[in-house]
Amino acid sequence: MKFTVNVDCTPEEARAFMGLPDMKPIHDLYLQAATDAMSGQTNLEQMERMFRSMSPMGDAGMKLFASLMDLGINAAAGGANGPTKKDR
């Protein structure tokens, strides 16, 4: 026997029903920190620290991203004819 139950509820009601925590206050804090950083209310070091903590692989992910950006900028500027043996 197979039956289907449709439940009409909001995401907040579903989270409460399933016993999941309300993450809205934490989400609001992250949004406020990102907004402050983008509007210049924080210094560059604070902004870098925040983005490092939110990056998937932490420092390693940030270093990888920086190296990829450097390669792209060099290639776009015409300074590189292609990846060098060191870059491979």
pTM: 0.37
User: Residue 78 has what pLDDT?
Assistant: 75
Give the residue-averaged pLDDT of 14-26.
88
pLDDT of the residue at 2: 94
Confidence of residue 79 (pLDDT cuts 50, 70, 90): low
pLDDT in tens, 30-72: 888 778 777 766 676 776 777 777 676 777 777 887 888 888 8
Residue 78 and residue 68: Cα distance in Å, rounded? 16
CB atoms within 10 A of CB 84: 10
Q: Which two tokens stand for residue 53?
A: 């903590």
Which residue's structure tokens are 């792209």? 72
Cα 47–chain centre separation:
13
Domain range list for the chain: 22-76
